[in-house]
Structure 1
Amino acid sequence: MGAMRLTRVTTAELDRLEFHAVRSGEHSRIAAQLLDLANRVDAGSEVTRAELFVRAGEQWEIAQEFERACAAYQRAMDDGGPTVVDAHALSAGALLQLDERELAYEHLKRLESADRSGLSTFIHVAEALYAHDDLEGAERWATLGARDAEGQKSSAYARDLFLELLRIRFRIRTDLGLPEDDLDLRLDQE
């Protein structure tokens, strides 16, 4: 008899699992549970299979099991479903942790030539590159994201992400010794 398929996974259930991981420190166990859910979720679920793979990968990263994180992100990429942060960006960050710079930059190159996800993806890439001392790359990705979002009508949440990206970009540009530009001045106007 095969495994029983779930009818759906809700964001509330996902939040509950992730909160438990934070509270208990059981990131590896929660990652395994998220992978199991991803393998059993139905197409009509509120949370996509790809998003469950991504969330499992994030839990593996917190547990510092970067190889497992990369495997989960690869499953998300293979699935192709929508995710909050593009799996290529997340995989690149995990690969940087493994000192696999060439593979990480291949993921970023693919991401750059694709139809990019939202601001969360740009934030993740900029922060990952910044953490691994690629300030020029981090500044370029933060600028790409800010320019993509500039002038778009958006929700309060999207506006908060835009401001977060501008703050990250400003910090990077300050570290690079670059003068203020029009995007930096937007922080004073917002």
Structure 2
Amino acid sequence: MGAMRVTHVTTAELDRLEFDAVRSGEHGRVAAQLHDLANRADAGSEITRAELFVRAGEQWEIAQEYERACAAYQRAIDDGGRTVIDPRALCAGALLQMDETERAHAHLQRLEKDVLDGLPTYLHIAEVLYAHGDLEGAEWWATSGARSRHRGGDDLFEELLRIRFRIRSDLGLDEDDLDRSI
């Protein structure tokens, strides 16, 4: 007898699970629940299977289970469904946490060749690289995202400009047109 399929995963259900993780501190348990939900989700769900794998990976990262996070992100990559943040970027971040720099940069190099869909991915990469001391890489991604201005609200765009300004200040670079637009 196979696992019971879930026909519809809602944003409200996802929010409830993630709130439970924050409240309880049991991010690993919630990650496992999200992973199970992703395995049972049908294609017609409000939340894609790939997004559920991404959310499971994020919970694994919070629990400092980086290998499990990478595995969840790889499932999202393999699934190919729509996600808020490109799972290759998330996987690169988890790999950096494990000091697997070459593998992380291989993901980032593949991302550089693609037209990315939305500001959240650019912002995530800029923040991760900044946190790991790669200021030049972080500045490149923040600038690319700011200049692309794909999808994302004004708040997200302003957040990207703020981290870009901070990075550029740390690098000792002069203000440019994007810096002055903050």
What is the TM-score of this pair, normalised by structure 2?
0.98
1:111 Cα offset (Å): 1.0
Once the two structures are superposed, residues 5-45 of structure 1 have per-residue CA deviations (whole angstroms, 9 ceiling, x without a partner) of: 01110011101100110010010000000000000001110
In the alignment, which residue of structure 1 is the partner of 2:5? 5
In the alignment, which residue of structure 1 is the partner of 2:113? 113
Residue 174 (str. 1) matches residue 169 (str. 2): yes
Once residues 91 and 115 of structure 2 are traced to their aligned partners in structure 1, the CA distance between those partners, rounded to angstroms, is: 17
In the alignment, which residue of structure 2 is the partner of 1:41? 41
Once residues 71 and 117 of structure 1 are traced to their aligned partners in structure 2, the CA distance between those partners, rounded to angstroms, is: 23
In the alignment, which residue of structure 2 is the partner of 1:137? 137
In the alignment, which residue of structure 2 is the partner of 1:89? 89
1:142 Cα offset (Å): 0.0
1:112 Cα offset (Å): 1.2
Tell me the number of residue pairs that the alignment of Structure 1 and Structure 2 aligns: 182
Residue 164 (str. 1) matches residue 156 (str. 2): no
1:114 Cα offset (Å): 1.6
Give 5+ residue unaligned stretches, structure 2. Answer: none
Once residues 59 and 94 of structure 1 are traced to their aligned partners in structure 2, the CA distance between those partners, rounded to angstroms, is: 12
Q: 1:47 is matched by which residue type in structure 2?
A: I
Q: 1:110 is matched by which residue type in structure 2?
A: R
1:3 Cα offset (Å): 1.1
1:102 Cα offset (Å): 0.4
Once residues 161 and 41 of structure 1 are traced to their aligned partners in structure 2, the CA distance between those partners, rounded to angstroms, is: 29
Q: 1:132 is matched by which residue type in structure 2?
A: H
In the alignment, which residue of structure 1 is the partner of 2:15? 15
Report 1:27-66 matches (<5 A): 27-66=27-66
Q: 2:90 is matched by which residue type in structure 1?
A: L
What is the TM-score of this pair, normalised by structure 1?
0.94
Once residues 113 and 12 of structure 1 are traced to their aligned partners in structure 2, the CA distance between those partners, rounded to angstroms, is: 35
Once the two structures are superposed, residues 66-94 of structure 1 have per-residue CA deviations (whole angstroms, 9 ceiling, x without a partner) of: 00000000000000000000000000000
Q: Could you say what secondary structure the match of 1:180 adopts?
A: coil
Identity %: 74
Q: 1:129 is matched by which residue type in structure 2?
A: L
Q: Could you say what secondary structure the match of 1:60 adopts?
A: helix
Give 5+ residue unaligned stretches, structure 1. Answer: none
Q: Could you say what secondary structure the match of 1:112 adopts?
A: helix
Q: Could you say what secondary structure the match of 2:45 adopts?
A: coil
Q: Detail structure 1 runs of 4+ shifted over 2 Å in the superposition.
A: none
Once residues 3 and 59 of structure 2 are traced to their aligned partners in structure 1, the CA distance between those partners, rounded to angstroms, is: 24
Once residues 89 and 117 of structure 2 are traced to their aligned partners in structure 1, the CA distance between those partners, rounded to angstroms, is: 10
1:117 Cα offset (Å): 2.5
In the alignment, which residue of structure 2 is the partner of 1:100? 100
1:158 Cα offset (Å): 1.2
Q: 2:180 is matched by which residue type in structure 1?
A: L
